[in-house]
Amino acid sequence: MKYRVARFQSLAVALKELEPFIRNGKHLQIGKPFKKFGGMLSREVLANWLLCVAINSTDNRELTFSSDPVGGDGIICDSATGETWPTEHVMVPRLRPGETGDGEALILKAIEHKRSKGGAAYAAGKTLIVFLEAGAGIWFPNKVARQLPNPLLFTVAWVVGLHGVESGEYVYNVTCLDISDGVAPAVRVRVGTDFDSWTVNRIQ
């Protein structure tokens, strides 16, 4: 059975469409779902975009993404091979003024929340993406990866979050919590001030 999905013409078009929501900031936290994009939230669209541009750069892939017709949080697609990876997302909310928190503990708590939501059947074959809005300071990917529950249930877990705004450029960290090669791969995605270009650099 074939399903109809929504997708952007390109990752460049997707970024331009995301610009007002990224600049707004608050929409990423509490904005309403996009009805024309399968009910996805702006932060879910942004997170999937970040994964695609990060992996395309580091692994020389041709990833893009679409809505999920069966209710998930979007599907990562390889245009060259036809492979697909359904995603599930969870957010670590931004801390309120005066609040303090441990970034690593907050990430692990969010993962456990999503993991316990539906068990193995719910998580099987899916990529879990944590959208970090905590503002909880420095956290160490290798340390978090070593504390992941076993079994994780999801195929793999990623963490994406805003590193900062530098000279008008929005800079994001994209980290895969997989230390099978010794370290958890992490890149920094820098979005140009005009929102029609970006660069990706490996940081770990």
Residue 114 lies in a domain: yes
pLDDT digits (tens, 9 = 90+) for 108-119: 999 999 999 878
Judge whether residue 1 has pLDDT over 50.
no
Residue closest to 22 by CA, chosen among 138, 188, 187, 161: 161
Which residues are within 8 A (CB) of 109 and not within 5 positions of it... i.e. 6 or more apart? 92
Confidence of residue 81 (pLDDT cuts 50, 70, 90): very high
Residue 22 is predicted with a pLDDT of 96
Residue 88 lies in a domain: yes
Domain count, the chain: 1
Residue 151 lies in a domain: yes
Task: Please give the residue range of the domain that contains residue 127.
Answer: 11-202
Residue 40 lies in a domain: yes
Residue 68 lies in a domain: yes
CB 190, CB 201: distance < 8 Å? yes
Judge whether residue 62 has pLDDT over 70.
yes
CA-CA distance, 98 to 136, in Å (whole number)?
Answer: 11
Q: Mean pLDDT across the stretch 67-93?
A: 94
Residue 160, strand partner residues: 131, 174
Q: Mean pLDDT across the stretch 131-158?
A: 92
Residue 96 is predicted with a pLDDT of 74
Residue 128 lies in a domain: yes
Judge whether residue 134 has pLDDT over 80.
no
Residue 2 lies in a domain: no
Q: Sheet containing 169-176: give its strands across.
A: 63-66, 75-78, 84-92, 127-132, 156-166, 169-176, 186-191, 198-202
Q: Mean pLDDT across the stretch 133-138?
A: 78
Residue 82 lies in a domain: yes
CA-CA distance, 105 to 137, in Å (whole number)?
Answer: 12
CB 151, CB 166: distance < 8 Å? no
Judge whether residue 136 has pLDDT over 80.
no
Residue 51 is predicted with a pLDDT of 98
Residue 197 is predicted with a pLDDT of 97
Judge whether residue 129 has pLDDT over 90.
yes
Judge whether residue 101 has pLDDT over 80.
no
Residue 2 is predicted with a pLDDT of 62
pLDDT digits (tens, 9 = 90+) for 163-196: 999 999 999 999 999 999 999 999 999 999 999 9
Between the two ends of the chain, the Cα-to-Cα distance in Å is 41
pLDDT digits (tens, 9 = 90+) for 39-60: 999 999 999 999 999 999 999 9
